[in-house]
Amino acid sequence: MQVAGRKVAVVGMGGAFPACKDLNEFDQKLFTNQSLVRQWDLAVQYEKQIRSTVSGYITEAEMGLEAVWAPITEKYPETYIDTLGRIPDANLSTADMGSIWAMLGAQEATTMAGWTKAEIESEQTGVVVGSGGAGNQILRVAWHYFFQMGKKARIAGAHTVDRSMSYREAANISCLLKTKGVCESITSACATGLGNIGHAYRLIKFGLQDRAIAGGVEGTALETFIGFDGMMILSKGFSPAESSRPFDIHRNGFVCSFGAGIVALEEYEMAKARGANIIGVINEYFNNSDGDGDMFYPSFAGQQRLWKGLLPDKGLRPDVVKMHGTSTPVGDSVELLSVVDALGDEGYHMSAPKSQFGHMLGGAGSVELITALLMLKNQQVLPCLNSETLNPELEGFQKNENWTGPDKPLAAYRHLVPQKAFAKEINRIACLNYGFGGTNSAMLVSRDI
């Protein structure tokens, strides 16, 4: 049961963003319609073994890190050095790349929040951060020692477990900042980032915590990229900047990318009382499952129920819908039509941040929530880059006799899908994310007005 009167404010944010040195550069590039997707030289090295070679990836150097290569081969990093001295070596020794990004993002978010050491270390401050996959890159050396070289298990090192355990990002943040509240992770595929923030929101809303560090991560790893490339669902055949193209008729898959988004949440009245800069207020969070037994195919009915849970009060309408918008053929169509089914075809716009940096998997929802908060700050709608042509014909599933959604083609909603950033009064944004297994997440965030 919710505690009456408790609201949740976002008071800090940080993370790791492709081709950007910090949050300010990320902000500047997004709102000048730039793409952060690049040709990935590492993928190119494997030539015909890999179909897709573009990604919104992040290098060690871009994050102020230096890889320490394993003595057996220069292909495998054994650990990392923080060249800027932000994280102690002891904390780096237990961390994969994503965990390092999570710790850096947590430092940035709590600094922006203005929390004192006592507040951070309080029993009322929790950590809820997760990722979509294992700490693949840092684990290569352990498996190579054991399987290829036939070495004893102890030669693989003492940190294989803590670098691969499911809640490694939350654990590393908690150990670095010495938090004493809840420490846990929720992993829900591509809904992970928003799901962790949603759970943290509920912890505060229900009176179980006063503050929380929350978000999602996906550390750069070729193993992750290969997995999706093997499914043949990655974008192929376009220039890097044109590869991520949500809703466009020529889309043929998503861009596998990497990043981290961490936010600092606080009970609203507490934040207000201490004069905190309130970046945004979370109005509602709702999540559900499709329940149709399909691991991959999107469910219009599931998304209908998601909207009903997010907007029980029909008066809370968003000015912008931050779409999941992966650039997959069916997923984009079902999502766009489910939004129109819930909101009609006037009075709001759709924004697809993945068009600018690709799909960050476990980090997608949290980084995209940060883009929503930046839209509130800048009072501008981010674009759906490359959404040049929407299908003028009905989708195949719209012709099914059981279809109950909108009966117009995607092209009829062209006016809702901007191709460039533009200024607009924005008071409220709905954020959507979906994942394999039929998991759906939605959050409504607003300006503090």
Summarize pLDDT for 198-215 with one digit per residue, the tens. Answer: 999 999 999 999 999 999
Q: What is the mean pLDDT of the chain?
A: 95
Rounded-to-integer distance, Cα 30 and Cα 202, Å: 30
Catalytic residue among 20, 199, 359, 431: 359
Active site residue 324: yes
Mean pLDDT over 421-445 rounds to 98
Residue 100: predicted pLDDT: 97
Catalytic residue among 190, 256, 384, 431: 190
Residue 143: predicted pLDDT: 80
Q: Mind giving me the DSSP string for 93-130?
A: TT--HHHHHHHHHHHHHHHHHT--HHHHTSTTEEEEEE
Query: Which regions of 169-324 does DSSP assign to beta strands (E)?
Result: 183-184, 211-218, 259-267, 280-289, 320-322
Under 8 Å between Cβ of 19 and 29: yes
Under 8 Å between Cβ of 227 and 41: no
Identify whether 78 is part of a domain: yes
Catalytic residue among 324, 349, 384, 431: 324
Residue 320: predicted pLDDT: 98
Domain with 147 in it: what CATH number?
A: 3.40.47.10
Is pLDDT above 80 for 197?
Answer: yes
CA distances from 364 to 125, 227, 257, 313, 354 (A): 24, 17, 9, 27, 8
Rounded-to-integer distance, Cα 327 and Cα 190, Å: 14
Identify whether 107 is part of a domain: yes
Is pLDDT above 90 for 152?
Answer: no
Percent of the chain at pLDDT > 90 equals 86
Residue 170: predicted pLDDT: 98
Residue 2: predicted pLDDT: 59
Residue 314: predicted pLDDT: 66
Residue 278: predicted pLDDT: 98
Q: Mind giving me the DSSP string for 372-410?
A: HHHHHHHTEEPP-TT-----SS--GGGGSTT--S--S-G
* Range from 64-68, 85-89, 157-161 carrying the lowest mean pLDDT: 157-161
Rounded-to-integer distance, Cα 298 and Cα 368, Å: 20
Active site residue 190: yes
Identify whether 3 is part of a domain: no
Number of domains in the chain: 1
Tokens of 13: 């944010």
Tell me which residue has tokens 């401050």. Answer: 125
Which residues lie below 8 Å from residue 56, measured CB to CB, with a gap of 6+? 18, 19, 36, 37, 38, 255, 257, 258, 259, 357, 358, 360
Tokens of 395: 């989708």
Rounded-to-integer distance, Cα 118 and Cα 178, Å: 10
Identify whether 2 is part of a domain: no
Residue 53: predicted pLDDT: 97
Identify whether 438 is part of a domain: yes
Strands 211-218 and 125-131: parallel
Residue 29: predicted pLDDT: 98
Helix (H) or strand (E) holding 430: strand 428-435
Rounded-to-integer distance, Cα 224 and Cα 244, Å: 18
Identify whether 62 is part of a domain: yes
Rounded-to-integer distance, Cα 357 and Cα 373, Å: 17
Residue 70: predicted pLDDT: 80
Rounded-to-integer distance, Cα 296 and Cα 36, Å: 27
* Range from 131-145, 199-213, 253-267, 322-336 carrying the lowest mean pLDDT: 131-145
Identify whether 99 is part of a domain: yes
Is pLDDT above 70 for 1?
Answer: no
Residue 110: predicted pLDDT: 98
At 276-330, the pLDDT tens digits run 999 999 999 999 999 999 999 999 999 999 999 999 876 789 999 999 999 999 9
pLDDT band of residue 147 (cuts 50, 70, 90) is confident
pLDDT band of residue 74 (cuts 50, 70, 90) is low
Is pLDDT above 90 for 449?
Answer: no
Q: Rounded to 5 degrees, what are φ and ψ at 283?
A: -85, -40
Which residues lie below 8 Å from residue 201, measured CB to CB, with a gap of 6+? 8, 212, 214, 265, 282, 285, 443
Domain that residue 304 falls in = 8-446
Which residues lie below 8 Å from residue 399, measured CB to CB, with a gap of 6+? none
Mean pLDDT over 161-189 rounds to 94
Helix (H) or strand (E) holding 154: none
Max avg pLDDT among 90-99, 152-161, 163-172, 254-263 = 254-263
Count of beta carbons in the 10 Å neighbourhood of residue 19:
18
Is pLDDT above 90 for 3?
Answer: no
Under 8 Å between Cβ of 336 and 413: yes
Helix (H) or strand (E) holding 425: none
Residue 145: predicted pLDDT: 81
Mean pLDDT over 187-196 rounds to 97
At 183 the three-state DSSP class reads: strand
Identify whether 117 is part of a domain: yes
Q: Quick one: which of 269, 376, 273 has its CA closest to 322?
A: 376
